[in-house]
Amino acid sequence: MENKLKIYNTLSRKKELFQPINPPHVGMYVCGPTVYGDAHLGHARPGITFDIVFRYLRHLGYKVRYVRNITDVGHLVNDADAGEDKIQKKARLEQLEPMEVVKFYTDRYHENMQQLNTLPPSIEPTASGHIIEQIELVKKILKNGYAYESDGSLYFDVEKYNKDYKYGKLSGRRIEELMQNTRELAGQEEKHNAFDFALWKKADPKHIMHWPSPWSEGYPGWHLECSAMGAKYLGETFDIHGGGMDLLFPHHESEIAQANAATGHDPVKYWMHNNMITINGQKMGKSLNNFITLNEFFSGKHKALDQAYNPMTIRFFILQAHYRSTLDFSTDAMKAAEKGMHKLFDAFYLLDELKPSEKSSVDIKAIEAKCYDAMNDDFNTPMVIAHLFDLAHILNQVDSGTESLTKADIEETKAFFSTFLFDLLGLKDEKEKDDSELIDYLMKTILGIRQEAKTKKDYATSDLIRDELAKMNIQIKDTKEGAKWSFK
């Protein structure tokens, strides 16, 4: 397999030629959401970024095992191993069983990811389903001397680890700096050092989600689940680990430390991090009041939005920036994205109407090669989109007669345009959605006519409508709220 793909590796801080450990197999782990609230724009970015990686690696012929976890336990409100579990807090506030919160938001997350046309991962393990693996990992770390027990809780001994392995290789943070910056140990007296992180926490009596372990009835620390599940499904060393830049420290740094402490070697060859999305130049956050969920985008129901935005517009908007750049949201940028995307769709449909010429005035293969070069350059989707805009411009010129393409070149263009637009960028024309809206509208109209007939006691007409719809497997049910329809 000829391979020109270069990936920026956060670990080496440079672009490296992608050489999987065990080709054609590729293992990719991406940190998934903590399911205690609706997904927002910040979730869409890693969802789409690693969907692009997944799609392109498969396109190149790799057999990719894509693991994305669901965090349903152990994430505390305060990341410094203190405070209440986020899911538990939500459950308490809404008087639900924690697993009801988990199921509800997992389903909504899946729905949002599907609306954004991201492919489902190959495996989607949950933290609560891998408590045994996490306990086994803690045992190994403890046995190797890099953890200590303190009143039923276990902590990772960062100082000891740093002596044998270098701590901070991913984030570039040095333990000396951490020591200076984290002198405070208030409320964390169990730890030897403030920067030690929990591997296992003894549950206080109010904590609802807890499991038995050799040390205490408790729950796993924040960073443990990804180490345990990554190793279980992808092996002790695998190819790609991804996530948002906000996870780089301490989460991913701790994963590296845990793996080395347990196995003596690094867990991941290529670390990839997507950058953050800002809103009108500001960081997005609940406290900043600029926190917009994906469902709010799709419905337009948020005071910062002037209209509803189609999921594909959001996808295109995200792909117009390189995943390592920050991306600033504004309604103007979103409108420009919507317009731009339709320009590409229109150009693609125009291909069916072009009149072929004897000779081509444009080198189509060169444009195709440029698109591949852009993808191979660390998944440079904005560059791919720029080349597709150039192509759209050329196709319009062919249509007006200032440029020309042969029949074979038109076919070739159709094939690679479709590959990039639909298969690799994962865009979808909303026509399908429009169809379902149209059906809804037509059915409402038909049921309205039927209701009118019934009111006038014209049962022949109302029965005729019912029987005719039945032929198309459409079932009508009369309920107190009026007639409802469904496919049989």
Residue 358 C-beta: closest distance to Zn ion, Å: 58
Residue 273 C-beta: closest distance to Zn ion, Å: 12
Whole-angstrom distance, CA of residue 320 vs CA of residue 48: 12
Structure tokens at 304: 């910062």
- By beta-carbon proximity to Zn ion, the closer residue of 64 and 224 is 224
Cα separations (Å) of 256 from 223, 225, 427? Answer: 10, 13, 35
Of all helices (H) and strands (E), which one includes residue 82? strand 82-85
Residues in contact with Zn ion, shown as a per-residue x/- string from 183 to 222 under the rule CB under 5 A: ----------------------------------------
Helices 331-350 and 381-400, interaxial angle, to 10°?
50
Residue 228 C-beta: closest distance to Zn ion, Å: 10
Residue 364 backbone zone (phi > 0: left; psi -120 to 50: alpha; other: beta): alpha
Closest CA to 295 of 118, 156, 116: 116
Structure tokens at 168: 């901070």
Whole-angstrom distance, CA of residue 273 vs CA of residue 296: 26
Return the range that interacts with Zn ion (CB under 5 A); candidates 30-38, 188-196, 294-302, 415-423.
30-38
Contacts of 55-61 with C-beta under 8 Å, sequence gap 24+, read 55/119, 55/423, 55/424, 55/426, 56/5, 56/375, 56/379, 56/424, 57/5, 57/26, 57/28, 59/419, 59/423, 59/424, 60/1, 60/3, 60/5, 61/1, 61/24
Residue 344 C-beta: closest distance to Zn ion, Å: 34
| Residue 113 lies near Zn ion (rule: CB under 5 A) | no
Residues in contact with Zn ion, shown as a per-residue x/- string from 292 to 321 under the rule CB under 5 A: ------------------------------
Q: Which one of 26, 31, 327, 344 is in contact with Zn ion (CB under 5 A)?
A: 31
Whole-angstrom distance, CA of residue 146 vs CA of residue 25: 32
- By beta-carbon proximity to Zn ion, the closer residue of 26 and 226 is 226
Whole-angstrom distance, CA of residue 218 vs CA of residue 203: 4
In 116-157, alpha helices (H): 131-143
| Residue 224 lies near Zn ion (rule: CB under 5 A) | no
Residue 434 C-beta: closest distance to Zn ion, Å: 38
| Residue 272 lies near Zn ion (rule: CB under 5 A) | no
Return the range that interacts with Zn ion (CB under 5 A); candidates 26-34, 191-199, 328-336, 391-399.
26-34
Q: Which one of 226, 347, 362, 410 is in contact with Zn ion (CB under 5 A)?
A: 226
Residue 29 C-beta: closest distance to Zn ion, Å: 8
Whole-angstrom distance, CA of residue 323 vs CA of residue 303: 27
Residue 259 backbone zone (phi > 0: left; psi -120 to 50: alpha; other: beta): alpha
- By beta-carbon proximity to Zn ion, the closer residue of 31 and 135 is 31
- By beta-carbon proximity to Zn ion, the closer residue of 52 and 268 is 268
Return the range that interacts with Zn ion (CB under 5 A); candidates 9-17, 28-36, 144-152, 312-320.
28-36
Whole-angstrom distance, CA of residue 15 vs CA of residue 159: 31
| Residue 268 lies near Zn ion (rule: CB under 5 A) | no
Of residues 144 through 183, those in contact with Zn ion by CB under 5 A are none
Return the range that interacts with Zn ion (CB under 5 A); candidates 36-44, 97-105, 200-208, 226-234.
226-234
Residue 226 C-beta: closest distance to Zn ion, Å: 3
Contacts of 281 (CB under 8 A, 6+ apart): 328
Return the range that interacts with Zn ion (CB under 5 A); candidates 8-16, 179-187, 225-233, 362-370.
225-233
Residue 389 C-beta: closest distance to Zn ion, Å: 36
Residue ranges in contact with Zn ion by CB under 5 A: 31, 226
